[in-house]
Structure 1
Amino acid sequence: MTDFNSTSFQPATLQLTGFPGQEAVYHWIAVPFVVIYITAIVGNCLVLFIIWADRRLHRPMYWFLCMLSVNDLGVCLSTLPTVLGTFCFHFTVIAFDACLAQMFFIHTFSFMESGILVAMSFDRFVAICNPLRYAAILSNSRILTIALAVVMKSSSIIFPFPFLIKRLPVCKTNILSHAYCLHSDLMRLACADTTVNNIYGLFSILATCGLDSLFIILSYIKILMTVLKIASQEQRLTALNTCASHICAVLLFYVPIIAVTLMHRFGKNFPHLVQILASYVYLFVTPVLNPVIYSVKTKEIRKAIFRVLSRDLM
């Protein structure tokens, strides 16, 4: 029997789900997740260490990259306990309030990533369109202000989510669809009207990812207009190449989130396994690939890695 709270009609615990029907091979399924977590944590910590150790990289573009790496670490650490607990130790029980806390952090870090990508597009916009005032516009104090604004905006938008879930009676089931807690999944358990949750969820996505993607598109339209005015083709390619890593990071973030959103809204006929895999891709691909992309595509990061490694080996 599900242990329900008699006053709020909410279960004391919830049941996490990995891949239904595959419980016998969870120890094998755990292997790629362990590799993913190690790769993401080591990769992002390496980026942070390289930027901290090399003073040549103490510039606005790389401070924003530090924010992205810290945020990716936050995404990993917010899901790690329940994902590895489920697949490594078959520990699938989570307290209801702990689930709400995890949901808050997962969505907050996801929305913060969107805000950081906007800040990075602004950095590229200033660097290409107004290079003479780049250092003056993006001073350290202004970068700190931007970072605080991203954190405050994301956390304040997500802040009502736990309370919106808390007010709903849960009487259908206490079994979640994933090895972690998401707003849409928790909302599915309710046996009351979830119109307010749906409306606020849509508003939160439009107010963050919707507006952020619009600002990124406008920034790149202006960047492209400026680049096309450059007479030398080599200089045009050089200018565009400085945006390549950021464009890849934007695509890595927005393509999975759009796919998962469309699948949840309109893809009821998709196999359940496909929906589960899409959700894992949305959360885990970005933290793993962001440090790889910036290490491969950014010449200064590559040089800094070689400098630090050669100094340590001497």
Structure 2
Amino acid sequence: MGLRPAQGEGADGTMEKEFTYEDYQHTAEWLLSHTKHRPQVAVICGSGLGGLADTVTQAQSFNYSEIPNFPQSTVPGHVGRLVFGYLKDCPCVVMQGRFHYYEGYPLWKVTFPVRVFRLMGVDTLLVTNAAGGLNPNFEVGDIMLIRDHINMPGFCGQNPLRGPNDERFGHRFPAMSDAYDRNLMQKAHSAWKQMGEQRELQEGTYVMLGGPNFETIAESRLLRKLGADAVGMSTVPEVIVARHCGLRVFGFSLITNKVIMNYESLEKANHEEVLESGKQAARKLEQFVSILLASIPPSGNAI
């Protein structure tokens, strides 16, 4: 038996049933039957970071519209394509575009691909995002390893694990104190040293807001006081579901803008700036991820 159907609001405002275990299984089996690739690592590309998928070798891609049960990406900078192949010698599947709560999707649909990847045999999830820098020491173009996160939507009950729990994926109450794999973070620092970059590889706490509007100055000040170093509108739901089903998780944010903190400033955050910063950092990010993935051994997880 799969998960008992629960109700969730769809993108068109109507109520729809959550996916059952069999729905995830159907999508995983469809993908496995349509590609010979067997990925070990899944990569979710944030806004403007989808160029990483273009470096995949022996690539085979599927538009999201082709894949059973897959949502559709509607945000500029998110192509909406699943790419299988190799990054360096690491077998990967790359999401060229993710889904967001602000698009109208319930969180169980935002995170749908993560469980599909788990059923396909993936053992490691790499999450990336474009984020605003709250830490005053950050500069545009910096990369911040995500050491921890603050799930603001979760404070008011918006959690992708809400509803009936299926033990075939994971326990009812998963720990999040070790959400981001410390060994992979150490490997990331080693990869960064190999690159010889002048700027230091940053490390900090990512906070998720629901979006789609950018933060007010008062909100930004509050988030900084809470201990957040970078702010965005994604990533946390995927991480929660990944940890729930036993995946190792590693994540980083590309700092695409410095968050406005004072009322005298005439600057405004905008999505075009985010995409442009992603373009400028593309080569650095590709090199960083390639070196990192080459150092990741299999975890040996099975479901």
TM above 0.5: no
Which category of TM-score, normalised to the shorter sequence, fits these structures?
Answer: under 0.3
Q: Normalized per residue, which structure has more helix?
A: 1
**Structure with the bigger percentage of strand:** 2
Q: Larger radius of gyration, structure 1 or 2?
A: 1
TM-score (norm 2): 0.26
